[in-house]
Amino acid sequence: MIDVVVLGSSGTKPTKDRNTSAYYCRCEGISFLLDAGEGVQQSLLKYCTQFETEFIIISHKHGDHYFGLIPYLVTMHLLNRVKPLSLYLPPDMKFFETLLSVQGIKLCYDLNIVYYSDTSEIKYRKFSISFFKTNHTVNCYGFKLSVHERYTLDEEKLNLISDKKNLSTLQRGIAVFEGDCLITPKDVCKTHIPKFTVVYGADSRPISPDLLGGCKLLIHEGTFEDDELHLAKSKKHSCVSEAKALAPLVDVLCVSHIGSKIRRTKNEANIFFAKDGLSFTVSNMGIVSGKYQISSALHGRI
């Protein structure tokens, strides 16, 4: 299961009701941020029950996607954070270390900076995050969160397994040997929970449908209205209709990075127009919740 909370839904600059790009995610007890635009701390305090995160991923070097990052890092210092924090940056953001140095920022915790590429992968036991290049004016990456397939055990067949350490391996869909005998997940499991994904397209022209296999939630930008297609193409952004064209390929489309000239933001069918505080809970059963929250976005779901 993945919780997703929109912390910033505005394109390029903040508005009265929207901060710039930032998303809180929680999967299997691990909390992290996708981008950290201006206002990310206020949105975390307003819409989430947890302020600290395990890691942060920044999609590209445009300021509306990371100008809230340094204040967040400093607040973690003021809160006497002990646990290391991993920061994943694209390869052309090495200037960020210089920025920290020039400002004389010293943190009481370890900040582990990792420069990723489109072949990188962040791996946890039950989920992983991969990267893909988007079509933008600068080096920009989108992220695919994949929750691994799992199996539930059939209690009546557990006598086939003498080494109980093999049970968790089988639940992850991996065959094991018991002596000379190969045991597959189907031999001892009764329910298959398929893999599913959440995709964040960052800033881009429309992303490839090839990225959307098994996608439950797609967060895709909609910076321009349809009559500004020429601007969308020249600035390497997307029009709302271009984002909406991807809706049939996913369970739910969340149109975000919304430009100031967007006139229509009414939800329709499986399409949500992002607003700060919009939250989703995503599971292999689909989207079990998606609503605007005034406070405590991780409670009181539908």
The candidate with the shortest Cα–Cα distance to 144, out of 163, 164, 127, is 127
User: What is the SS3 assignment for 230?
Assistant: helix
CA–CA separation, 233 and 298 (whole Å): 37
Q: Where are the beta strands (DSSP E) in 101-200?
A: 111-115, 121-123, 127-133, 141-147, 150-153, 176-178, 181-183, 189-193, 196-200
Q: What are phi and psi of 21, to 5 degrees?
A: -50, 125
Region 202-217: what's the mean pLDDT?
96
CA–CA separation, 263 and 185 (whole Å): 51
The candidate with the shortest Cα–Cα distance to 6, out of 18, 24, 20, 19, is 24
What would the pLDDT profile of 60-99 be if each residue is shown by its tens digit? Answer: 999 999 999 999 999 999 999 999 999 999 999 999 999 9
CA–CA separation, 256 and 200 (whole Å): 10
pTM (two decimals): 0.86
Whether the pLDDT of residue 294 is over 70: the answer is: no
Encoding tokens for residue 76? 């973690």
More confident residue, 192 or 3: 3
Residue 229 belongs to what H/E stretch?
Answer: helix 229-235
- The residue type found at 172 is R
> What is the pLDDT, as a whole number, of residue 301?
32
Just give the CATH number of 2-149+194-292.
Answer: 3.60.15.10
Cβ pair 284, 10 in contact under 8 A: no
What would the pLDDT profile of 107-139 be if each residue is shown by its tens digit? Answer: 999 999 999 999 999 999 889 999 999 999 999
* Helix-helix angle 40-47:69-78, to 10 degrees: 60
What would the pLDDT profile of 178-206 be if each residue is shown by its tens digit? Answer: 888 888 887 887 776 678 899 999 999 99
What would the pLDDT profile of 262-293 be if each residue is shown by its tens digit? Answer: 888 888 889 999 999 999 998 876 676 555 44
- Cα(first)–Cα(last) distance of the chain, in Å? 15
CA–CA separation, 205 and 233 (whole Å): 7
Encoding tokens for residue 208? 């490839």
The angle formed by the CA atoms of residues 270, 275 and 280, to the nearest 5 degrees, is 50
Percent of the chain with pLDDT over 70: 93
User: What is the SS3 assignment for 112?
Assistant: strand
- The residue type found at 17 is D
CB under 8 Å to 251, separation ≥6 — which residues? 215, 216, 217, 270, 286, 287
